[in-house]
Amino acid sequence: MRFYPLVALIVIASIGPVEPNPGDGSRSTAQDELVQIERELATAWPNGDKETIDRILAPDWSVTNALGQVQTKEQVMRDAFQSGTLKVRSATVDEIKVRLFGNAAVVTGQSLSEGLYAGRPFRAILRFTDVFVKR
């Protein structure tokens, strides 16, 4: 099964892990897979890799942008690949932490992206929270 992110940049309040992370600092296969997914997404945006982004993001994925607006997958994909409103020139992720909860996971980290939005340059350093569900 693959993990698919459902919602980005949300607040998760006090739920205990069903399947705790290893206490010895080692990562599980699921944790490694989720870190790799985050890195694939960061690489796909500046490369214009629509297929990878579409494959990874669930149909009901949404994101809260820097202006506090909630955007659907359809809106973000249109801005990036049809209208050209969003042009990501570079993107990286780091400080990634994965918390497993049975068939779900919460992944947090920091992203740095640069590019153009509506013709204006942007540079964004953001903290992110992605929720993944194994389907």
Which tens digit of pLDDT belongs to each residue from 11-65? Answer: 333 233 334 444 445 568 999 999 999 999 999 999 999 999 999 999 999 999 8
Q: Specify the pTM.
A: 0.77
Tell whether the model's pLDDT for residue 87 goes beyond 90. Answer: yes
* Strand partners of residue 98: 107
15 Rama class: left (phi>0) / alpha (psi -120 to 50) / beta: beta
Q: Where are the domains of the chain?
A: 3-11+28-134
Which among 52, 45, 104, 105 is positioned nearest to 79, based on CA atoms? Answer: 45
CATH domain 3-11+28-134 topology: Nuclear Transport Factor 2; Chain: A, (3.10.450)
